[in-house]
Structure formats: structure tokens, C-alpha cells
Amino acid sequence: DTAVSQTPKYLVTQMGNDKSIKCEQNLGHDTMYWYKQDSKKFLKIMFSYNNKELIINETVPNRFSPKSPDKAHLNLHINSLELGDSAVYFCASSPTTDTEAFFGQGTRLTVV
């Protein structure tokens, strides 16, 4: 069974559109994260959630809005997409910050 799953795996869209990426974990973890990985492979943290409450917002533009309907899900909605949003977005979860984090397979977002 997949531990952390993201959908879709690939997303190609035009500038100005709004899109969402879904993430689900079946591990019972309390903590979930979103990361952005750009072309330089830098894995930059965007948001941290604990028990469906937003804990950390790493100065991400407010066009990005995470939503956690329950502890197992953390979705990412992006408004007014820009070229610079093109990247691979990873969702991850862990029991606590100081334990192993499990990553989803990533969503490759391409804005054209």
C-alpha cells in the first residue's frame, strides 16, 4: 500500500490558471509538509501542518493556500499560476518533526 500519495503526478497548465494538488497519507502521522523542488534540486519547505493545523508558513506567496480537511490529507491550491511556479512539489508526513519523513512521489507542475 502506498504510504504517501499525491495526485496528479504531472500537471501542465497555462499562466493565470488555478490548480490543486492533493496529498493523502495512510500512516496515521500527525505532521505533514509541502516542499517545492526547483530545477537546482533545492528542496525548499513551504508549509508544515500538525494535526491539521497550520504551524509554519515559510513566507510563501499567498497565491499558495494549503488546506487540511483532516489529519490524513493536505492539499495545495495555487491561484494565478506564474512561470516561476514550475517545479516539482512534494508532500511528506512524519509522526513528529524528529522522526523519519515519508515523501509522496512528487507532482511535476509546468506552467506555460
Partner 1 sequence: GENVEQHPSTLSVQEGDSAVIKCTYSDSASNYFPWYKQELGKRPQLIIDIRSNVGEKKDQRIAVTLNKTAKHFSLHITETQPEDSAVYFCAATYYGNNRLAFGKGNQVVVIP
* Residues contacting 33, CB < 8 A, separation 6+: 45, 46, 47, 48, 49, 91, 92, 93, 94, 101
Go through 69-85 and write b for each residue having 16 or more CB atoms within 10 A of its CB, e for each that does not.
eebbbbbbebeebeeeb
Specify the stretch interacting with partner 1 by CB under 8 A; choose among 10-18, 64-72, 78-86, 103-111: 103-111
Q: Segment 27-46, which members bind partner 1 (CB under 8 A)?
A: 31, 33, 40-43, 45
Q: Quick one: 14 or 39, whose CB is closer to partner 1?
A: 39
Q: Cell for 53? A: 493545523
Q: Segment 51-70, which members bind partner 1 (CB under 8 A)?
A: 55-56, 58
Please report, as ranges, the residues that interact with partner 1 according to CB under 8 A. Answer: 31, 33, 40-43, 45, 48, 50, 55-56, 58, 90, 92, 94, 96-101, 103-106
